[in-house]
Structure 1
Amino acid sequence: MKNIALIGMPGSGKTTFGKALADILHRPFIDADDYLEKKEGRTIKSFFAESEEAFREAEERTIRDLSAKEGIIIATGGGVIKRKVNVDNLREGGLVVFLDRLPEDIVTDVEVEKRPLLKEGPDRVFTLYEERIALYREAADITVANRGREEKVLEKLLDAVKKWA
Protein backbone atom coordinates (compact mmCIF):
# COMPACT_ATOMS: atom_id res chain seq x y z
CA MET A 1 0.00 0.00 0.00
CA LYS A 2 1.38 3.39 -1.02
CA ASN A 3 1.96 6.30 1.36
CA ILE A 4 0.06 9.57 1.29
CA ALA A 5 2.32 12.56 1.92
CA LEU A 6 0.81 15.96 2.69
CA ILE A 7 2.83 19.02 1.68
CA GLY A 8 2.08 22.70 2.12
CA MET A 9 2.87 25.83 4.04
CA PRO A 10 3.30 25.81 7.81
CA GLY A 11 -0.25 26.17 9.11
CA SER A 12 -1.87 24.72 5.98
CA GLY A 13 -3.46 21.83 7.90
CA LYS A 14 -1.08 18.96 7.12
CA THR A 15 -1.13 17.56 10.66
CA THR A 16 -4.84 18.20 11.28
CA PHE A 17 -5.96 16.62 8.01
CA GLY A 18 -3.26 13.94 8.12
CA LYS A 19 -4.57 12.66 11.46
CA ALA A 20 -8.18 12.77 10.24
CA LEU A 21 -7.28 10.95 7.03
CA ALA A 22 -5.35 8.30 8.97
CA ASP A 23 -8.34 7.71 11.27
CA ILE A 24 -10.77 7.35 8.38
CA LEU A 25 -8.48 5.15 6.26
CA HIS A 26 -7.20 3.14 9.26
CA ARG A 27 -3.58 3.92 8.52
CA PRO A 28 -0.70 5.02 10.73
CA PHE A 29 -0.04 8.77 10.86
CA ILE A 30 3.47 10.19 11.19
CA ASP A 31 4.34 13.84 11.57
CA ALA A 32 7.74 14.15 9.87
CA ASP A 33 8.91 16.88 12.26
CA ASP A 34 8.10 14.76 15.33
CA TYR A 35 9.77 11.74 13.72
CA LEU A 36 12.86 13.83 12.94
CA GLU A 37 13.20 15.06 16.52
CA LYS A 38 12.89 11.53 17.95
CA LYS A 39 15.27 9.94 15.46
CA GLU A 40 17.87 12.72 15.56
CA GLY A 41 17.62 13.19 19.32
CA ARG A 42 17.35 16.97 19.09
CA THR A 43 14.78 19.65 18.48
CA ILE A 44 14.10 21.37 15.20
CA LYS A 45 14.75 24.63 17.01
CA SER A 46 18.27 23.42 17.87
CA PHE A 47 18.92 22.53 14.22
CA PHE A 48 17.81 25.99 13.11
CA ALA A 49 19.99 27.55 15.83
CA GLU A 50 22.92 25.79 14.14
CA SER A 51 21.74 26.56 10.58
CA GLU A 52 18.83 25.93 8.25
CA GLU A 53 21.19 23.70 6.23
CA ALA A 54 21.71 21.43 9.27
CA PHE A 55 17.95 21.10 9.59
CA ARG A 56 17.46 20.39 5.86
CA GLU A 57 20.07 17.59 6.03
CA ALA A 58 18.19 15.97 8.94
CA GLU A 59 14.89 16.50 7.11
CA GLU A 60 16.29 14.73 4.04
CA ARG A 61 17.28 11.71 6.16
CA THR A 62 13.82 11.70 7.73
CA ILE A 63 11.98 11.81 4.39
CA ARG A 64 14.17 9.00 3.04
CA ASP A 65 13.24 6.84 6.07
CA LEU A 66 9.54 7.64 5.94
CA SER A 67 9.29 7.13 2.17
CA ALA A 68 10.67 3.62 2.59
CA LYS A 69 7.70 2.69 4.79
CA GLU A 70 4.39 1.50 3.38
CA GLY A 71 0.81 2.59 3.88
CA ILE A 72 1.44 5.58 6.13
CA ILE A 73 0.07 9.10 6.10
CA ILE A 74 2.90 11.64 6.38
CA ALA A 75 2.58 15.29 7.38
CA THR A 76 5.77 16.88 6.05
CA GLY A 77 7.46 20.08 7.11
CA GLY A 78 6.58 23.17 5.10
CA GLY A 79 9.98 23.43 3.42
CA VAL A 80 10.32 19.78 2.41
CA ILE A 81 9.90 20.80 -1.24
CA LYS A 82 13.09 22.89 -1.14
CA ARG A 83 15.09 19.76 -1.96
CA LYS A 84 14.19 17.83 -5.08
CA VAL A 85 15.47 14.58 -3.51
CA ASN A 86 12.74 14.86 -0.86
CA VAL A 87 10.03 15.27 -3.50
CA ASP A 88 11.47 12.33 -5.48
CA ASN A 89 11.47 10.13 -2.36
CA LEU A 90 7.91 11.10 -1.41
CA ARG A 91 6.64 10.46 -4.94
CA GLU A 92 8.41 7.12 -5.16
CA GLY A 93 6.75 6.09 -1.90
CA GLY A 94 3.26 7.17 -2.89
CA LEU A 95 0.90 10.05 -3.46
CA VAL A 96 1.91 13.67 -2.78
CA VAL A 97 -0.98 15.96 -1.86
CA PHE A 98 -0.58 19.74 -1.69
CA LEU A 99 -2.87 21.33 0.88
CA ASP A 100 -3.12 24.83 -0.55
CA ARG A 101 -4.09 27.35 2.08
CA LEU A 102 -3.93 31.06 1.40
CA PRO A 103 -1.37 33.02 3.43
CA GLU A 104 -4.05 35.44 4.67
CA ASP A 105 -5.90 32.46 6.19
CA ILE A 106 -2.72 31.12 7.79
CA VAL A 107 -1.80 34.41 9.49
CA THR A 108 -5.26 34.80 11.00
CA ASP A 109 -5.36 31.22 12.32
CA VAL A 110 -1.82 30.09 13.22
CA GLU A 111 0.47 31.12 16.07
CA VAL A 112 3.29 32.15 13.75
CA GLU A 113 5.76 32.76 16.58
CA LYS A 114 5.75 29.01 17.32
CA ARG A 115 6.95 28.18 13.79
CA PRO A 116 10.75 28.53 13.30
CA LEU A 117 10.58 30.08 9.84
CA LEU A 118 7.58 32.25 10.65
CA LYS A 119 8.81 33.81 13.89
CA GLU A 120 9.86 36.92 11.92
CA GLY A 121 6.18 37.83 11.73
CA PRO A 122 3.10 37.50 9.54
CA ASP A 123 4.71 39.14 6.49
CA ARG A 124 7.09 36.17 6.32
CA VAL A 125 4.10 33.90 5.60
CA PHE A 126 3.31 35.85 2.43
CA THR A 127 6.97 35.86 1.36
CA LEU A 128 7.34 32.10 1.91
CA TYR A 129 4.11 31.41 0.03
CA GLU A 130 5.37 33.38 -2.98
CA GLU A 131 8.76 31.63 -2.81
CA ARG A 132 7.28 28.15 -2.52
CA ILE A 133 3.95 28.05 -4.35
CA ALA A 134 5.46 26.93 -7.67
CA LEU A 135 7.48 24.21 -5.90
CA TYR A 136 4.39 22.90 -4.08
CA ARG A 137 2.39 22.77 -7.31
CA GLU A 138 5.20 21.07 -9.18
CA ALA A 139 5.73 18.46 -6.43
CA ALA A 140 2.06 17.56 -5.99
CA ASP A 141 0.18 14.73 -7.65
CA ILE A 142 -3.03 16.30 -6.32
CA THR A 143 -3.84 19.77 -4.98
CA VAL A 144 -6.63 20.28 -2.47
CA ALA A 145 -7.62 23.83 -1.55
CA ASN A 146 -7.92 24.32 2.20
CA ARG A 147 -10.70 26.90 2.12
CA GLY A 148 -13.82 26.92 4.23
CA ARG A 149 -15.00 24.45 6.83
CA GLU A 150 -12.72 21.60 7.87
CA GLU A 151 -15.40 18.99 7.12
CA LYS A 152 -15.67 20.16 3.50
CA VAL A 153 -11.89 20.23 3.03
CA LEU A 154 -11.60 16.73 4.49
CA GLU A 155 -14.36 15.55 2.15
CA LYS A 156 -12.47 16.99 -0.87
CA LEU A 157 -9.25 15.41 0.36
CA LEU A 158 -10.88 12.00 0.79
CA ASP A 159 -12.47 12.17 -2.65
CA ALA A 160 -9.12 13.05 -4.25
CA VAL A 161 -7.27 10.26 -2.43
CA LYS A 162 -9.93 7.66 -3.26
CA LYS A 163 -9.75 8.53 -6.97
CA TRP A 164 -6.01 7.94 -6.84
CA ALA A 165 -6.24 4.63 -4.93
Structure 2
Amino acid sequence: MKSIALVGFMGSGKSSVGKKLTDYLNIPFYDTDEVVENQLGMQIKDIFKRHGEDYFREVEEEVLLSMPSDGAVIATGGGIVESPVNRETLKNNFNSIWLQASFPTISKRLEADAKRPLWNNNDQLKHELFRSRQNLYQQSTVKIIKVDELEIDECAQEILCYLNL
Protein backbone atom coordinates (compact mmCIF):
# COMPACT_ATOMS: atom_id res chain seq x y z
CA MET A 1 0.00 0.00 0.00
CA LYS A 2 1.24 3.46 -0.90
CA SER A 3 1.99 5.48 2.25
CA ILE A 4 -0.63 7.96 3.43
CA ALA A 5 0.61 11.53 3.85
CA LEU A 6 -1.63 13.93 5.75
CA VAL A 7 -1.30 17.62 4.93
CA GLY A 8 -3.09 20.68 6.22
CA PHE A 9 -2.69 23.79 8.27
CA MET A 10 -1.30 23.54 11.79
CA GLY A 11 -4.01 22.34 14.13
CA SER A 12 -5.99 20.52 11.45
CA GLY A 13 -5.51 17.16 13.18
CA LYS A 14 -2.81 15.52 11.07
CA SER A 15 -0.95 13.89 13.98
CA SER A 16 -4.09 12.77 15.81
CA VAL A 17 -5.72 11.33 12.70
CA GLY A 18 -2.42 9.78 11.59
CA LYS A 19 -2.01 7.95 14.89
CA LYS A 20 -5.60 6.69 14.66
CA LEU A 21 -4.95 5.41 11.12
CA THR A 22 -1.91 3.48 12.31
CA ASP A 23 -4.06 1.88 15.01
CA TYR A 24 -6.37 0.56 12.30
CA LEU A 25 -3.70 -0.37 9.77
CA ASN A 26 -0.93 -1.56 12.11
CA ILE A 27 1.75 0.28 10.12
CA PRO A 28 4.42 2.79 11.23
CA PHE A 29 3.59 6.42 11.95
CA TYR A 30 5.92 9.32 11.22
CA ASP A 31 5.48 12.97 12.11
CA THR A 32 7.86 15.05 9.98
CA ASP A 33 8.04 17.80 12.62
CA GLU A 34 9.07 15.25 15.26
CA VAL A 35 11.67 13.73 12.91
CA VAL A 36 13.19 17.19 12.30
CA GLU A 37 13.24 17.91 16.04
CA ASN A 38 14.91 14.57 16.77
CA GLN A 39 17.50 15.03 14.02
CA LEU A 40 18.46 18.51 15.20
CA GLY A 41 17.99 17.90 18.91
CA MET A 42 15.78 20.95 19.48
CA GLN A 43 12.16 22.06 19.25
CA ILE A 44 10.90 23.76 16.10
CA LYS A 45 10.49 27.11 17.85
CA ASP A 46 14.18 26.94 18.82
CA ILE A 47 15.20 25.90 15.29
CA PHE A 48 13.37 28.98 13.98
CA LYS A 49 15.09 31.25 16.53
CA ARG A 50 18.57 29.87 16.05
CA HIS A 51 18.68 28.98 12.35
CA GLY A 52 15.60 30.59 10.76
CA GLU A 53 12.64 29.28 8.82
CA ASP A 54 14.60 28.69 5.59
CA TYR A 55 16.94 26.26 7.32
CA PHE A 56 14.01 24.47 8.92
CA ARG A 57 12.33 24.12 5.49
CA GLU A 58 15.52 22.63 4.00
CA VAL A 59 15.71 19.97 6.71
CA GLU A 60 11.96 19.37 6.42
CA GLU A 61 12.36 18.70 2.68
CA GLU A 62 15.16 16.19 3.33
CA VAL A 63 12.97 14.45 5.91
CA LEU A 64 10.02 14.18 3.52
CA LEU A 65 12.24 12.73 0.81
CA SER A 66 13.45 10.11 3.31
CA MET A 67 9.95 8.94 4.26
CA PRO A 68 8.85 5.47 3.09
CA SER A 69 6.61 5.62 0.05
CA ASP A 70 4.89 2.37 1.03
CA GLY A 71 3.35 1.03 4.22
CA ALA A 72 3.33 4.06 6.52
CA VAL A 73 1.27 7.02 7.71
CA ILE A 74 3.02 10.40 7.63
CA ALA A 75 1.77 13.55 9.35
CA THR A 76 3.47 16.52 7.73
CA GLY A 77 4.16 19.98 9.08
CA GLY A 78 1.66 22.67 8.15
CA GLY A 79 4.15 24.53 5.96
CA ILE A 80 5.65 21.58 4.15
CA VAL A 81 3.74 22.63 1.02
CA GLU A 82 5.77 25.85 0.77
CA SER A 83 8.36 23.90 -1.25
CA PRO A 84 7.56 23.00 -4.87
CA VAL A 85 9.66 19.85 -4.45
CA ASN A 86 7.54 18.82 -1.47
CA ARG A 87 4.28 19.50 -3.31
CA GLU A 88 5.40 17.23 -6.17
CA THR A 89 6.68 14.55 -3.78
CA LEU A 90 3.44 14.55 -1.81
CA LYS A 91 1.20 14.37 -4.87
CA ASN A 92 3.23 11.77 -6.76
CA ASN A 93 4.74 9.51 -4.11
CA PHE A 94 1.99 9.21 -1.48
CA ASN A 95 -1.76 8.94 -0.97
CA SER A 96 -1.70 12.58 0.06
CA ILE A 97 -4.82 13.77 1.85
CA TRP A 98 -5.63 17.34 2.87
CA LEU A 99 -7.31 17.65 6.25
CA GLN A 100 -9.08 20.91 5.51
CA ALA A 101 -10.11 22.94 8.54
CA SER A 102 -11.64 26.41 8.57
CA PHE A 103 -9.77 29.34 10.11
CA PRO A 104 -12.21 29.55 13.07
CA THR A 105 -11.62 25.85 13.82
CA ILE A 106 -7.85 26.32 13.66
CA SER A 107 -8.03 29.41 15.88
CA LYS A 108 -10.06 27.57 18.50
CA ARG A 109 -7.74 24.56 18.51
CA LEU A 110 -4.57 26.65 18.76
CA GLU A 111 -5.71 29.44 21.09
CA ALA A 112 -3.40 28.29 23.92
CA ASP A 113 -0.58 26.83 21.79
CA ALA A 114 2.67 28.73 22.30
CA LYS A 115 5.04 26.25 20.65
CA ARG A 116 4.19 27.06 17.02
CA PRO A 117 6.38 29.96 15.91
CA LEU A 118 4.26 31.00 12.93
CA TRP A 119 1.06 31.01 15.01
CA ASN A 120 2.46 33.54 17.47
CA ASN A 121 1.89 36.45 15.08
CA ASN A 122 -0.92 38.97 15.00
CA ASP A 123 -4.31 37.89 13.65
CA GLN A 124 -3.82 39.51 10.24
CA LEU A 125 -0.57 37.60 9.66
CA LYS A 126 -2.22 34.35 10.78
CA HIS A 127 -5.07 34.92 8.29
CA GLU A 128 -2.61 35.72 5.51
CA LEU A 129 -0.57 32.60 6.20
CA PHE A 130 -3.72 30.47 6.29
CA ARG A 131 -5.02 31.92 3.00
CA SER A 132 -1.65 31.69 1.26
CA ARG A 133 -1.37 27.96 1.86
CA GLN A 134 -4.84 26.86 0.73
CA ASN A 135 -3.94 26.56 -2.95
CA LEU A 136 -0.63 24.88 -2.05
CA TYR A 137 -2.48 22.17 -0.10
CA GLN A 138 -4.79 21.68 -3.08
CA GLN A 139 -1.78 21.24 -5.40
CA SER A 140 -0.24 18.64 -3.06
CA THR A 141 -3.10 16.24 -2.52
CA VAL A 142 -5.36 13.72 -4.18
CA LYS A 143 -8.24 14.00 -1.68
CA ILE A 144 -9.73 16.68 0.57
CA ILE A 145 -11.50 15.87 3.81
CA LYS A 146 -13.29 18.71 5.58
CA VAL A 147 -12.57 18.13 9.26
CA ASP A 148 -14.45 20.92 11.06
CA GLU A 149 -17.36 18.68 12.09
CA LEU A 150 -15.51 15.36 12.28
CA GLU A 151 -14.11 13.56 15.30
CA ILE A 152 -10.68 11.99 14.92
CA ASP A 153 -12.09 8.50 14.42
CA GLU A 154 -14.64 9.71 11.85
CA CYS A 155 -11.89 11.38 9.86
CA ALA A 156 -9.74 8.24 9.94
CA GLN A 157 -12.72 6.14 8.84
CA GLU A 158 -13.38 8.48 5.90
CA ILE A 159 -9.75 8.12 4.79
CA LEU A 160 -9.93 4.33 5.07
CA CYS A 161 -13.14 4.28 3.00
CA TYR A 162 -11.62 6.55 0.35
CA LEU A 163 -8.60 4.24 0.06
CA ASN A 164 -10.80 1.10 0.12
CA LEU A 165 -8.99 -0.23 3.20
Give the partner amino acid of 1:41: G
In structure 1, stretches of 5+ residues that fail to align are none
Identify, as 1 or 2, the structure richer in helix.
Answer: 1
Partner of 1:157: 159
* Mapped contact 1:107–1:125 kept (Cα < 8 A): no
Contact in 1 for aligned 2:90/2:141 (Cα 8 Å) = no
By relative contact order (CA 8 Å, sep 6+), the higher-ranking structure is 2
Identity %: 32
Tell me which residue corresponds to 2:40: 40
Per the TM alignment, residue 93 of structure 1 is displaced from its structure 2 partner at its CA by 2.7
- Structure 2: how far apart are the matches of 1:89 and 1:137? 14
What letter corresponds to residue 61 of structure 1 in structure 2? E
Question: Does 2:56 correspond to 1:55?
Answer: yes
The root-mean-square deviation of aligned C-alpha atoms, in Å, is: 1.7
- TM normalised by structure 2 equals 0.89
* Aligned-pair CA distance for 1:16: 0.6
Contact 2:32-2:64 at 8 Å conserved across structures: yes
Q: Match of 1:131, SS? A: helix
Structure-2 residue corresponding to 1:118: 119
Change (3 A) 1:107 1:42: same
Q: Distance between the aligned counterparts of 1:7 and 1:161, measured in 2?
A: 16
Q: Name the SS for the 2:163 alignment partner.
A: helix
* Deviations 1:131-158, CA, capped at 9 Å, x for gaps: 1101111111111110213043333222
Q: TM-score, normalised by structure 1?
A: 0.89
Residue 80 of structure 2 aligns to which amino acid in structure 1? V
